[in-house]
Structure 1
Amino acid sequence: MLTLFATCPKGLEYLLRDELRALGADDAREALAGVHFSGTLELAYRACLWSRLASRVLLRLAEFDAADADALYAGVQAIDWSQHLAPDGTFAVDAVGGASALKHTQYIALRTKDAIVDQFRERTGERPNVEVDQPSIRLNVRLHRERATVSLDLSGTPLHRRGWRQGQGDAPLKENLACAMLLRAGWPAIHAAGGALVDPMCGAGTLLIEGALIAADVAPGLRRAYFGFLGWRGHDDGVWQAVIAEARARAEQGLCALGSVFYGYDHDPNVLNEAKRNAQAAGVAGFVQLARQSAEHLHRPVGCDVPGLVICNPPYGERLGERERLAGLYRAFGDRLRADFTGWHAAVIVSDDELGHALGLRADKRYVLYNGALECRLLTFDLVAESAPRERTARPLSEGAQAVANRIGKSHKHLRKRLVRKGISCYRIYDADIPEYAAAIDVYTAIGRDVSTAQVEPFPQTWLHVQEYAPPADIPEQVARDRLRDLVHAAGVALEVPRERIAVKTRYKAKGGSKYGRFDQRNEFLVVEEGGLKLRVNLFDYLDTGLFLDHRPARARIRESARDKRFLNLFCYTATASVHAAAGGARTTTSVDLSATYLEWATRNFALNGIAGARHQLVQADVLEWLRHDRGEYDLVFVDPPTFSNSKRADDFDVQRDHAELLALCGERLAPEGLIVFSNNSRRFALDATSLQTFDVRDITPSTIPFDFARNARIHRCYELRHRGHGSAFS
């Protein structure tokens, strides 16, 4: 009996367990993101061929202690690799997890590869080669609590790659997630009763194609040309051919009995062409009817008298200004379901409860599913006759969310007069004030949208930017997600900001620890004001917005000190400090950064304020290297480096390690009476006073922390440096 593990996206574990039990894995038991089971080689083949939900099927080869690299190497060498791989074969290694002394997955994979290659070289004088795409065998090495599990990846490539996809739309749905939606919605039973399948926003046709394959009893892997076991020495081709022959016979019989009960609609003719190509490649084109039609005009297909299933993956609406339009789409779609699909079933996957609420339908069940890294809800409905749509009232606040809303409201009331008096329109309103709801919330009052180099489309609106802090390790991930969702809801209610104007930066667990989730690529910018200057911000595309709110006092002081000064801005980012210096009458400004993206952004900031000409230079360069070669002299230097930087175009930078050299180079360019303002946001930073004895140094951090950041006095550290004996003026 083989020891096996089938991986799957989170949220599919119980469905996958039931699927594997139906295939003959009587002992299948769910785990996080997968299912453990055991069985014969034939069962393993069946799982690879027939699972509609699994991502990979892993055959465990060995498990051993691996506290360090030597233990890992020895454990891998203890496996007899001649049983699995020929000397002239190829292999690949995927590594996940880590141990206290083995934290980098690339290194784990490298040591595993070395152990295998060394064993072959010692025994035969030959060695297998590494092949990434389609190796003879693919191995999976998982380290958890200093235990290593080495498995053979029988699937080779992710099983959601069925082999039929020719093209895709803008937001493709993975095939195993599509199957999970269909199974949760009860599609097999609906089809057995004679019902049809309708996708009003079909995109490239994934739901329709997978629905047809389920209905026709076609194995999802039947069109795959490659599996990871085909080059494995333990492969039994006779057993595999028998499994394949049975699947082909079932597919032929099922397709002969299949009816043309699959209807797909989309407003985009190009994506419909992709759906047609995909349906042809999957062998179900004759059963799928596609037409151009918007969801707002959805109607029941002619001749569909038996209740069926309407299912779709609608757009999630994360683009600026798009969510308001999509709320209307959801409402119209809900109205069409109610008007023309009484007695039918429906299933819709949404990324946001507010858009789901806009449907105006009462969900019978809600399931948590993940579309990639994005947590979603699958809502299922029984469309019974209703005299009127369900009232679309606001979702009530939970007890915890109400506490957050109260806190935000109190802070806003406390800050309001001071913000108005000082003319501040972008500020921090909440900073983990309630420890269980750990995030920072910043308010951005936009005066318009940046539509060209120097033009602003006016639309004054308030927006929120929410950044989640990493939750403690003992807090379950789902609890942290629920708290963040409650916090976002509370902030919107307290500040009367709709969800479509709230940007949320969430963390997820990944290799190397907690990281921020994927960002959008919208290239849409708001324009805000600070001290009468116009600055562009982007709340969604990047981790930071383009404007560091905690540097507001520093920028104001630079402006006050800049008259007739030669100003140098290092690691300038979007050059907001340079804009302030120019507005303060700086003789010249020079802004240096390695990023072309941020320098283009800086150009827009200058243009928005009518600042132009040769006196204001933007330089794309590695700051340290540029300082080593520059021969200019500057009266006022602002240095705000990142904590770490590992750009491919420059040497690695570590502010703790490199700040002394950085400031020494700045000193070489500083005029005799000049001033350096040095800031950084490293929480553990310690200034190397011994290496900076040529400067008079003063810690001015308290005077540079804005009043709205008072809860977080460690948001940055700021110092002024002058050549010894020349006094201090920046305080």
Structure 2
Amino acid sequence: MSDRYELFLTCPKGLEGLLIEEAVGLGLEDAREHTSAVRGMADMETAYRLCLWSRLANRVLLVLKRFPMKDAEDLYHGVLDIEWEEHMLPDGTLAVEFSGHGSGIDNTHFGALKVKDAIVDKLRTPTGERPSIDKINPDLRIHLRLDRGEAILSLDLSGHSLHQRGYRLQQGAAPLKENLAAAILIRAGWPRIAAEGGALTDPMCGVGTFLVEGAMIAADMAPNLNREQWGFTAWLGHVPALWNKLHTQASERAAIGMAKPPLWIRGYEADPRLIQPGRNNIERAGLSHWIKVYQGEVGTFEPRPDQNQKGLVICNPPYGERLGDEASLLYLYQNLGERLRQACLGWEAAVFTGTPDLGKRMGIRSHKQYSFWNGALPCKLLLIKVNPDQFVTGERRTPEQRQAEREQAVYDQAPTEPQERQYNKNGNPIKPAAAPVVEQARLSEGGQMFANRLQKNLKLLGKWAKREGVDCYRVYDADMPEYSMAIDLYHDWVHVQEYVAPKSIDPEKASARMFDALAAIPQALSIDKSRVVVKRRERQSGTKQYERQSAQGKFTEVSEGGVKLLVNLTDYLDTGLFLDHRPMRMRIQKEAAGKRFLNLYCYTATASVHAAKGGARSTTSVDLSKTYLDWARRNFSLNGFSDKNRLEQGDVMAWLEASRDEFDLIFIDPPTFSNSKRMEGIFDVQRDHVQLLDLAMARLAPGGVLYFSNNFRKFQLEDNLSERYAVEEISDKTIDPDFARNAKIHRAWKVTAR
């Protein structure tokens, strides 16, 4: 066998440049960069060294042969020609991986099968002994890559992917692979900072991957020092003496590194469920005396109290995949920026993000950005120098003002009395008596303009709401066209519905405006950031607005007109309370005394609760959804009502046809369209409203009143209804001041017998 081999080092997309630097430093010669790989020449010692020391590679592949191929027969014979008896025993185990297509092979499974057949046929003994397949832990793992008519056959020296260091047996929901974490640390300058004795902290550490990789770099520990199973272990070309020499040298280097005074490496994690798994991973890596992990929110994390200690803050904030994540992520980034500005002056920071636009909301400029891929997701690494010159204030400042800010920031960072930070028995940091004041997020010009509008609306509507005894109302409804959203106050919560921008609007501009608005809302409305819920409202069809979006099951109590009601701001697109129908509910409450009230398509039966509050003799509420009827039952109980309030589950049209009861007051607010599986046929309010009203009027007692409303913008009431009933449109009388800008939010009619 040759003394020099061609090697392929594979890696995640985007790491090729870093990997080629690392590989050359470890002895790879004639190195060239490929997509997700680096190619070069090396002797066996260098190949072993790359397996042991590469922090960035996935696999180290030793090329056995290159050969041209036109079809499957060429593939078979090209593999068959190799002296496989030099590589494995006839009774050994084998796994084959095949990539690429062409030359008559379009199925990778078929290609792998031809490679396997050639190896097995070559090694089959006269007695029939032959290698068997083991896809998990084979003696030999073979790769064949088909590239433009050339077959590249390789032996995998690494075995399992090199990113699997062995310490991370427990992980969070969306962990970074270890080699990607190492690449981010290297790109962020951690080797230089560690060599200078700097500190490392991760305020969102999850299960500690950044911390462990960072500590191994600082301690000069080979990333795969503790790996027991290798792809070359059972390979007949393996040179144990050479490998043992390199492994011994690496062990000695790690012992020297671990004997040094440990650097200050700390992690903080808000989720208590991840604390112990993180500590377990750190212990498996043998780094418990280097790394400490504590439970704490981003807004409370602090670096080492020693003001002379500087270092690197590194983190991978969540990317957000669920409905409403925009708000929580924005405030998370704002909190991170606030902590960096307040507590980390003079440090460096590295933020790895799948949502780079949010990085702009931290209030600090990045001096460099690098593109990476986390699996199939494009990401950015934002590198930041935490000093006042990089702070974004949202306003123009003179050089004198900037100098004053720098001096003030230095003064704020000056130590008072050196002390170690204290932690309680659970590992949580004990807050000092005088906690730092959290500054307000700096708003852009557009964000400030939006905040001004919100404050103006709040001042006007707040007085009206207080006078009317209402603590849930709309404070903004696309008043400014470029900020297309509805904002509702629910006591001390804010519910934001983002209207999807028209196709004529640049999506990036729409996204930027949304973030501007989200930054302004807590300040303008004096609401804590954690109490802002964001949803996206698109053009609805069917009953999509009623479909479950989440499963938090958290209810909030609100009040109007002396009635207490439960809303759920997170689980559904709508909240359980249609704010625009407030005047109708108040009208029903005033007219309900002594009457039998019927509420059709009752939803959560808020109008029925108002009727009961107004002294109704009885209420009957009909809806197809058991979920919403259970919700209605809770609304009644919350107000102390139980008897004489019937809740009927069923299709309204069928229920009306079967009912023989009479009612003095009826309210109908049907959906625009419904095709529920629990009803027969499809309900269309425009097509079916005449039949619906006829059925309901048949149940109306002499002298009774029926109120009918809907929010279908194109709805037209059938003309011939006025020939049979007295019909009066009362839409303008059912709009409160908070919906005055959107008078077409619904239409309403009063219907009585002639």
Return the TM-score normalized by structure 1.
0.58
The structure 1 residue matched to 2:670, chosen from 641, 652, 660, is 641
Task: Name the SS of the counterpart of 1:546 in structure 2.
Answer: coil
In the other structure, the counterpart of 2:106 is: 83
Instruction: Measure the CA separation in 2 of the matches of 1:631 and 1:440.
Output: 42
In the other structure, the counterpart of 1:527 is: 557
Contact 1:507–1:517 (CA<8 Å) still a contact in 2?
A: no
In the other structure, the counterpart of 1:387 is: 411
Q: Structure 1 residues 619 and 381, CA, compared in 2 at 3 Å: closer, same or farther?
A: farther
Instruction: Measure the CA separation in 2 of the matches of 1:252 and 1:434.
Output: 67
The structure 1 residue matched to 2:494, chosen from 434, 443, 464, is 464
How big is the shift at 1:716? 1.4
Contact 1:550–1:715 (CA<8 Å) still a contact in 2?
A: yes
Q: In the alignment, is residue 612 of structure 1 matched against residue 642 of structure 2?
A: yes
Q: Structure 1 residues 349 and 21, CA, compared in 2 at 3 Å: closer, same or farther?
A: closer
Q: In the alignment, is residue 706 of structure 1 matched against residue 736 of structure 2?
A: yes
Contact 1:267–1:292 (CA<8 Å) still a contact in 2?
A: no
Instruction: Within 5 Å, give how 1:596-635 maps onto structure 2.
Output: 596-613=626-643, 615-627=644-656, 629-635=658-664
The structure 1 residue matched to 2:617, chosen from 564, 576, 587, is 587
Whichever of the two has the greater Rg, that structure is 2
Instruction: Measure the CA separation in 1 of the matches of 2:652 and 2:380.
Output: 42
In the other structure, the counterpart of 1:65 is: none
Deviations 1:316-360 (A, max 9, x none): 9999xx99x99999799769955xxx865344689999x99999x
Contact 2:279–2:293 (CA<8 Å) still a contact in 1?
A: no
Write the letter of the residue equivalent to 1:398.
S
Q: Structure 1 residues 199 and 397, CA, compared in 2 at 3 Å: closer, same or farther?
A: closer
Write the letter of the residue equivalent to 1:526.
T
Write the letter of the residue equivalent to 1:432.
A
Task: Name the SS of the counterpart of 2:495 in structure 1.
Answer: strand
Write the letter of the residue equivalent to 1:619.
E
Instruction: Measure the CA separation in 2 of the matches of 1:589 and 1:289.
Output: 67
Instruction: Measure the CA separation in 1 of the matches of 2:599 and 2:442.
Output: 48
Q: Structure 1 residues 567 and 174, CA, compared in 2 at 3 Å: closer, same or farther?
A: farther
Deviations 1:197-217 (A, max 9, x none): 443553323433565799978
Q: Structure 1 residues 397 and 477, CA, compared in 2 at 3 Å: closer, same or farther?
A: same
In the other structure, the counterpart of 1:12 is: none
Q: In the alignment, is residue 402 of structure 1 matched against residue 426 of structure 2?
A: no
How big is the shift at 1:611? 1.4
Q: Structure 1 residues 466 and 301, CA, compared in 2 at 3 Å: closer, same or farther?
A: closer
How big is the shift at 1:666? 3.4
Q: Structure 1 residues 329 and 603, CA, compared in 2 at 3 Å: closer, same or farther?
A: same
The structure 1 residue matched to 2:348, chosen from 341, 345, 348, is 345
Write the letter of the residue equivalent to 1:436.
E
In the other structure, the counterpart of 1:537 is: 567
How big is the shift at 1:408? 3.5
Q: Structure 1 residues 616 and 309, CA, compared in 2 at 3 Å: closer, same or farther?
A: same
Write the letter of the residue equivalent to 2:646.
Q
Q: Structure 1 residues 301 and 348, CA, compared in 2 at 3 Å: closer, same or farther?
A: farther
Return the TM-score normalized by structure 2.
0.56
Instruction: Measure the CA separation in 2 of the matches of 1:167 and 1:653.
Output: 51
Write the letter of the residue equivalent to 2:562.
G
Contact 2:546–2:572 (CA<8 Å) still a contact in 1?
A: no
The structure 2 residue matched to 1:559, chosen from 589, 592, 601, is 589
Deviations 1:155-183 (A, max 9, x none): xxxx99999875555x7555599679646
The structure 1 residue matched to 2:745, chosen from 699, 715, 719, is 715
Q: Structure 1 residues 404 and 518, CA, compared in 2 at 3 Å: closer, same or farther?
A: farther
Q: Structure 1 residues 713 and 88, CA, compared in 2 at 3 Å: closer, same or farther?
A: farther
Q: Which range moved further: 581-590 or 472-481?
A: 472-481
Contact 1:279–1:288 (CA<8 Å) still a contact in 2?
A: no
How big is the shift at 1:467? 1.8
Deviations 1:449-483 (A, max 9, x none): xxxxxxxxxxxxx5433222211213232321221
Instruction: Measure the CA separation in 1 of the matches of 2:501 and 2:184.
Output: 30
Contact 1:590–1:617 (CA<8 Å) still a contact in 2?
A: yes
How big is the shift at 1:502? 3.5
Write the letter of the residue equivalent to 2:503.
A
Write the letter of the residue equivalent to 1:548.
F
Q: Structure 1 residues 399 and 174, CA, compared in 2 at 3 Å: closer, same or farther?
A: same
Instruction: Measure the CA separation in 2 of the matches of 1:657 and 1:598.
Output: 25
In the other structure, the counterpart of 1:204 is: 207
Instruction: Within 5 Å, give how 1:328-343 maps onto structure 2.
Output: 338=344
How big is the shift at 1:572? 1.9
Task: Name the SS of the counterpart of 2:708 in structure 1.
Answer: strand
In the other structure, the counterpart of 1:476 is: 506
Q: Structure 1 residues 268 and 332, CA, compared in 2 at 3 Å: closer, same or farther?
A: same
RMSD: 6.3
In the other structure, the counterpart of 2:78 is: none
Write the letter of the residue equivalent to 2:446.
G
Deviations 1:251-284 (A, max 9, x none): 989986666676545587753332256568xx84
Contact 1:681–1:717 (CA<8 Å) still a contact in 2?
A: yes
Q: How many residues align?
A: 553
How big is the shift at 1:581? 0.7
Contact 2:275–2:294 (CA<8 Å) still a contact in 1?
A: no
Q: Which range moved further: 585-594 or 486-495?
A: 486-495
Instruction: Within 5 Å, give how 1:320-335 maps onto structure 2.
Output: none
Instruction: Measure the CA separation in 2 of the matches of 1:583 and 1:307.
Output: 63
Instruction: Measure the CA separation in 2 of the matches of 1:580 and 1:551.
Output: 12
Residue ranges of structure 1 left out of the alignment (5+ in a row): 1-14, 25-37, 53-78, 90-158, 224-236, 242-247, 447-461
How big is the shift at 1:550? 0.6
Instruction: Measure the CA separation in 2 of the matches of 1:603 and 1:417.
Output: 32
Q: Structure 1 residues 395 and 298, CA, compared in 2 at 3 Å: closer, same or farther?
A: closer
Identity of aligned residues (%): 44
In the other structure, the counterpart of 2:294 is: 293
In the other structure, the counterpart of 2:98 is: none
Instruction: Measure the CA separation in 2 of the matches of 1:509 and 1:16.
Output: 40
Instruction: Within 5 Å, give how 1:48-447 maps onto structure 2.
Output: 83-84=106-107, 167-168=170-171, 172=174, 175=177, 182=185, 185-187=188-190, 190=193, 197-199=200-202, 201-208=204-211, 264=267, 270-276=273-279, 284=285, 291=292, 293-295=294-296, 308-312=311-315, 338=344, 344-347=347-350, 380-382=384-386, 386-389=410-413, 393-415=439-461, 418-444=464-490, 446=491
Deviations 1:471-509 (A, max 9, x none): 121323232122123234444444444434433334699
In the other structure, the counterpart of 1:30 is: none
Instruction: Measure the CA separation in 2 of the matches of 1:368 and 1:506.
Output: 31
Task: Name the SS of the counterpart of 1:386 in structure 2.
Answer: helix
Q: Structure 1 residues 648 and 684, CA, compared in 2 at 3 Å: closer, same or farther?
A: same
Contact 1:204–1:274 (CA<8 Å) still a contact in 2?
A: yes
Instruction: Within 5 Å, give how 1:570-585 maps onto structure 2.
Output: 570-585=600-615
Instruction: Measure the CA separation in 2 of the matches of 1:656 and 1:288.
Output: 71
Q: Structure 1 residues 585 and 479, CA, compared in 2 at 3 Å: closer, same or farther?
A: same
Write the letter of the residue equivalent to 1:637.
I
How big is the shift at 1:366? 9.2
Contact 1:212–1:284 (CA<8 Å) still a contact in 2?
A: no
Residue ranges of structure 2 left out of the alignment (5+ in a row): 1-10, 21-32, 40-54, 59-101, 113-161, 236-242, 389-408, 414-435
Write the letter of the residue equivalent to 1:431.
D
How big is the shift at 1:555? 0.6
Instruction: Measure the CA separation in 2 of the matches of 1:278 and 1:625.
Output: 61
